[in-house]
Amino acid sequence: MSEHLDCVIIGAGFSGLAMLAHLREAGLQCVVVDRQDGVGGTWRANRYPGVRTDSDYPIYSFSFSPEVRDEWRWTQRYAPGAEVLAYLEFVTDRLDLRRDMRFGMDLQRAEFRDGTWHLTFADGSIVSCRYLISCMGILDQPIWPNVPGLDTFEGILLHSMQWPSEGVDLRGKRVGLIGLGSSGLQILPAIAPECAEVYVFQRQPNYVVDSTFFPVSDEEMELTRRDYDRIWERAKAHPFGVDMVVPDHGAMDVDDDERRRIFESKWQEGGHHFANETFHDLATDPAASEAASDFIRSKIREIVTDPVTAALLCPTDYSFNGKRVPTGHRYYETYNRPNVHLVDVKSVPIARVTRDSIVIGDSAYPLDVLICATGFDAMTGPLTRIDIVGRHGVTLREKWADGIRTNLGISVHGFPNFFMSIGPQTPYSNLPVPIQLGAQWVTRAIQFADQHGIQLEATPESEEWWAAEVDAAGRKTVMYEEGLKAKAWFFGANVPGKPRELLVYMGGGQKYQELCRAAEADGYRSFRA
C-alpha cells in the first residue's frame, strides 16, 4: 500500500472511532490503521476473565450519534468487556466506519518531511498524510514483572492484556497471580471458582470499592435514552467526567457516625460513586482521604474472615486516591475461599521463577499457570514505542526524555499537524467524555487550519505554561503525595527508570474543556508555532 491521505488515525478503539466519524463528516479523507485484527483497542486486547468497565454504561458510550443511542441496548450497569467490544463493533457498522479502516497495520515510523507525514508500517506499506492523529489510548504497552527466571517458566504464562481470545482453561489448575491493580482484582474472583488453587502474590494492597452489577431493565434503558442529553451535560461538567453531582459537604464537616453512614450508602455502588458522591474532598483533603481509607480498611476486616489475610489486604503505606480507584466485584470475599492464598511479597520479595514454580524466601509455590496483571507503561508508552519524528529530526521519545511537553495534551512543538487524543497531560477522567470532546475539538482545529492555510503545532510558551498548570493542579490534590508513595502509574512510578512526573491533568475535565474552548476562541494562537 502506498497512498496519500488527508488524515491517518492510529488506533481503532473509542478514540479512533470518534475521530474518524467526526473528521469524515467534516469532509476529510481519513483512514484508521490498527495493529490488531479488528476494532476495539483496549477492549480487544484486554479479554481476561472478569474484565468490565468501572463506569456506568450511559457515560461509557458516545453521545454524538442518535442512531447508536437509540439502537444499542446495554445489559449491565458496568458492562462486561465483551459487551463493550460488541458496542464498538456496532458503532463501527452503524456509522459505516469499517470501509476506512485497515487492520494488522503496525506503525513503525512516522516522519514529518516537506510539510507531510510519511508513515512506514511493519509490512512495508508506506502512507503519507497531512494530519497524523494518535488514538492509541493510554495503556497499550504491557509491563512484565522484573523477576529473575520469568522466561524459564514452562507452564502457561499470561499477561492480563494479552489474554488469548479463545480463553484459557484454568479448571483444576494451580494458578499464580501477580498484580492487584484494576486488572488483577477483576481476574481473581472470576477465576478462583474453577482453579484448584490460586496463589495471589501481593506487593502492595489496593483500596477496592465493591460494586453490584445490576442488570439494565428495558424501562431503565428507555429512561436513559430519553434523558441522554442531560446525562452527557452533567458528565461534561463533572471533574471526573461522570454523571454525578459533586456533594456540597466535606468528610470532616460531619461527625463520625454520619461520615460512616454516608460512606456505607455509596459502598455498594462502586468506585466512582464512592469516590465522587460521598464527600467533595476525598481527592483534595488528606484527612478526608484518610477517613475513606479507614472506612475501607474496616470493610476489609468485616468481610475477610482470616484476620492475618485481612491485615495484609489493608493498605497502610498510602491513602485512598493514591492509586486510580478500582471497582471490584466480591474481591475481598474471594479471600474467604479455601483455595485462595494471599502471599505477601513485600516483606519477602519474589526471589525467582523456575520452570514450574515461584520461589519466595524458602518456599516454592508450584504453578501450572502464572498470570501477570502487572500494568502498563501508561500515557507516554504508546507514543514513545514508535519512532514519531518531528520537523527537527527529533523523536517524541527524545523530546520527552527530560519531561513531557505538550499544549493541553493535544499538540507538541516540533511536530506540526500531529494531534493526540487523550495524550499525556490530558484529564484524569472517565475517558469516553474527553475522547468525544477531543475528537470534536481536533476536527474543528483541522477545519480552521485548512481554511487559513496554516499548520498547527504547540508553541514552546504554551508547552511551558501547560507543564506548570499540570504540576500545579496535581499538587492541589492528594493524588500527588499519595500517588508518589503508592508508585502510581499516573506518575510513571510503576515503570523502572521512567521519570517521575504527572502524566495526567488533575485539575478536572470541566476546567480542561474550558481551556480548550478558550484556545479555540483565541484562534488557536497557542497552536501556531
Q: What is the contact mask toward ligand N01 in residues 82 to 121, using x (rule: CB under 6 A)? A: ----------------------------------------
Q: What is the contact mask toward ligand N01 in residues 267 to 306, using x (rule: CB under 6 A)? A: ----------------------------------------
User: Which residue number places its CB atom closest to ligand N01?
Assistant: 181
Determine if 373 is a binding residue for ligand N01 (CB under 6 A): yes
Determine if 160 is a binding residue for ligand N01 (CB under 6 A): yes
How far is 413 from 457, CA to CA, in rounded Å? 6
Determine if 54 is a binding residue for ligand N01 (CB under 6 A): yes
DSSP 89-151: HHHHHHTT-GGGEEES--EEEEEEETTEEEEEETTS-EEEEEEEEE---S--SB-----TTGG
Q: Give the residue, chosen from 92, 278, 334, 374, that forms a contact with ligand N01 under the rule CB under 6 A.
A: 374
**Three-state DSSP state, 34:** strand
Considering only the stretches 173-181, 254-262, 471-479, 516-524, report the one whose residues sit in contact with ligand N01 under the rule CB under 6 A. 173-181
Q: Give the residue, chosen from 12, 30, 345, 449, that forms a contact with ligand N01 under the rule CB under 6 A.
A: 345
C-alpha cell at 203: 506487593
Residue pair 387/425 in contact (Cβ under 8 Å)? The answer is no
Burial class of residue 267 (count of CB atoms within 10 Å of its CB; 0-12, 13-18, 19+): middle
Nearer Cβ to ligand N01, position 74 or 524? 74
Considering only the stretches 18-26, 28-36, 182-190, 442-450, report the one whose residues sit in contact with ligand N01 under the rule CB under 6 A. 182-190
Determine if 47 is a binding residue for ligand N01 (CB under 6 A): no
Nearer Cβ to ligand N01, position 38 or 80? 80
State the residue for C-alpha cell 464527600. Answer: 279
**Three-state DSSP state, 310:** helix
How far is 392 from 106, CA to CA, in rounded Å? 24
Determine if 137 is a binding residue for ligand N01 (CB under 6 A): no
Determine if 420 is a binding residue for ligand N01 (CB under 6 A): no
Determine if 426 is a binding residue for ligand N01 (CB under 6 A): no
Element (H, E) at 364: strand 363-366
Residue pair 396/412 in contact (Cβ under 8 Å)? The answer is yes
Determine if 134 is a binding residue for ligand N01 (CB under 6 A): no
Q: Give the residue, chosen from 179, 241, 492, 508, that forms a contact with ligand N01 under the rule CB under 6 A.
A: 179
Determine if 211 is a binding residue for ligand N01 (CB under 6 A): no
Q: Are strands 2-10 and 357-360 parallel, antiparallel or unpaired?
A: unpaired
Per DSSP, 239 falls in state: T
- For ligand N01, the binding residues (CB under 6 A) are 53-54, 139, 145-147, 160, 178-184, 186, 201, 203-204, 324, 327, 345, 350, 373-376, 487, 489, 494
